[in-house]
Structure 1
Amino acid sequence: MWAGTLYALAAGLMWGLVFVGPLLLPEYPAALQSVARYLAFGLIALPLAWLDRRNLRLLTRADWIEALKLAAIGNLLYYLFLASAIQRAGGPVPTMIIGTLPVVIAICANLRNARRDGKLPWRRLAPSLALIALGIACVNQVELQALRQDAGADISRYAIGAVLALAAVACWTWYPLRNADWLRDHPGRSPRTWATAQGVATLPLALAGYAMVWIGMAATGSGFDMPLGPRPDVFLGLMIAIGLFASWLGTLCWNEASQRLPTALAGQLIVFETLAALAYAFILRGSMPEPLTLTGIACLVVGVLRAVRVKPQAAPA
């Protein structure tokens, strides 16, 4: 239980980095950032795939199709929606919308996977979910209040960003449920191998996506300096760092957690990503969080600590 929780914490700390890229590269299109990040992930996975080729050969055609689906929806499409949302609404608002994932995934998994994982009793799970939801609401209230006080804020732009963040939530509700299905159905397979397989499956999708973005910009007469944009050093360094830590290593840690924990509990631990992303956002702002924000963060932490103590009960046959 605690090993799985620590793996989930490590994944959250690294996944929080994905919220930094769109803030540091506001002039780069979200689509370009998405395909570039996963192009880096795929290239990083190639030498790892060579080292792990014996285990990768054990994967069937159905396994590779599943890896391709996970790569397309949980990687490329999710990050496209997320980066677009952050560029339109800033960092904290999409972060808090994404922060609803622990609640959404826990509810979905408890409805969907009770027979396999055991059922987390709603009566004991409810206080944890309520604390997590309250924490998210507190932080969200601070950001919305700041938005109302900004006379130059474009409300419609923020609204579009919020809708895109909701689309990202839908993608990443689907991803951990399906990913956990495969891992729990193949307990003898290495989570490291499965993370590498997803990286390999991502590579052709990212290459095709990069070509489509380049062709699309040329067709529309965009003045953007392809293929690496106006700040190639920063762009390349950031994409490689996110590709290595947030994509491959983060996925590896999450796979390790998913094999050890009930899906409903693992879903709640995605709250670590929200906490890390908030910390990184405030570091970039150079300011301390408001008292209500700190209260919200405390509620999130207490909710997670309560959640890890809830034991699943065997579902009736």
Structure 2
Amino acid sequence: MPNERGSLVLGVLCGAAAGALWGLVFLAPELARAFGPLELTIGRYLAYGLISAALIAPRWRSLAATLGAGEWRALAWLALSGNTLYYILLASSVQLGGAAITALVIGFLPVVVTIVGSRAEGAVPLARLAPSLLLCAAGAVCIGWQALFLPSTRPVSAQLAGLLCAIGALASWGAYAVYNNHMLARVKAVSSHDWSLLIGIATGAQSLVLIPLALLLGVRGHGAGDWALFVAVSAGVAVFASIVGNALWNRMSRLLPLTLSGQMITFETLFALLYAFAWEHRGPTALEGVAFVLVVASVVSCVAAHRKPSNPSTAFAGEGRRSRRRPGAAG
């Protein structure tokens, strides 16, 4: 029982740390606003791929021997849904509609992933997760309320386009989160960190394919200062959000069931807003403060739901052992 509780706490800490690093990606489009979403995606993931290749090089032969065609296809799909396509849509949403609208929609990821995870065999019943899901949804609505209903300097058409891009990003990353958990349960011979690096290599290869498209669409002229900022932002996001953040997320995915790991995505929204406040040199409004409380309460209630036995005769240790056999979590 102590081991199960220890894994629960460690998993939550890894999820919170991953969210803190992933929140940085909401700032990147603002920091390098001179560059478009496609350019930002290429810069970030080309750096991610190069760094991943350098880190994995000493173990490449042994790792490659454990991977078949099915695993490589999965890596390509995960790279597309969780990185390339997701970030193009997210960056477009931030630049068109603003960070708040984007954070609002992405804030519903925990609800989507948790509902999908509740269908797994032996998962915590959805009824026990309902309070957590309601708190999460309420927090997401509070976070985006001001952006949606208060006057904005952005055109309505731009906000609508940003909202549609955010919904696309939500669907793309939701599919990634579910399938990545499934694959981590299958490739037990590969560590969570190495799996993240392999996804990085696949993503880097996809970014190379996007370069001709960017050139075809036309790259705007930029000064030396713009390019220096672009390289710094791309490398920073690649290291902290992609390398370290993804490794922490994969570690968490092997410690927690999908119904709980889905809630950990909430931390990305929370930290994204905190970084936005720092960038704008202001504190949270009353409504945003309420949202933070709801978000934290959502995660806490979800953790509590997973620590309670399913019935008086069921011990938590037994539930923990069953969770390791679910498709969404690796043992």
TM-score in terms of structure 2 length? 0.87
Q: Deviations over 1:267-296 (max 9, x none)?
A: 111001011101011111111111011001
Letter in 2 for 1:173: G
1:74-114 deviation digits (Å, cap 9, x = unpaired): 10000000000000111111011101100111112212xx2
Cα contact 1:64–1:197 (8 A) shared by 2: no
Structure 1 equivalent of residue 138 of structure 2: 134
C-alpha distance in 1, partners of 2:118/2:42? 33
Matched ranges for 1:138-287 at <5 A: 138-146=142-150, 148=151, 150=152, 152-217=153-218, 224-225=220-221, 231-287=226-282
Q: Distance in 2 between matches of 1:238 and 1:300?
A: 28
Counterpart CA distance in 1 for 2:212 and 2:297 is 46
Structure 1: tracts of 5 or more residues without a match: none
Matches within 5 A, 1:53-132: 53=60, 54-111=62-119, 114-115=120-121, 118-132=122-136
Tell me if structure 2 keeps the 8 A contact 1:49–1:200: no
Give, in whole Å, the separation in 2 of the partners of 1:79 and 1:138.
24
Matched AA of 1:71: A
Task: Kindly indicate whether the alpha-carbon contact (under 8 Å) linking 2:184 and 2:254 is maintained by their aligned counterparts in 1.
Answer: yes
3-state SS, counterpart of residue 244 of structure 1: helix
Moved more, 159-168 or 17-26: 17-26
TM-align CA RMSD: 1.7
- Identify which of structures 1 and 2 has the higher relative contact order when contacts are C-alpha pairs closer than 8 Å and 6+ apart: 1
Gap change, CA 1:289 and 1:145, over 3 Å in 2: farther
State the 4+ residue runs in structure 1 displaced beyond 4 angstroms: 312-315
> Matched residues in 1 for 2:22 and 2:36: separation?
20
Corresponding letter in the other structure for 2:301: R
* 1:187–1:259 contact (8 Å) kept in structure 2: no
Contact 2:66 / 2:189 at 8 angstroms: preserved in 1?
Answer: no
Task: Tell me if structure 2 keeps the 8 A contact 1:89–1:158.
Answer: yes
Q: CA deviation at 1:202?
A: 1.4
CA distance, structure 1, for counterparts of residue 277 and residue 171 of structure 2: 26
In the superposition, relative to structure 1, how do residues 87 and 61 fare at CA in structure 2: closer, same or farther (>3 Å)? same
Identical residues among aligned pairs (%): 32
Contact 1:96–1:136 under 8 Å retained in 2:
yes
CA positional deviation for 1:2 = 1.1
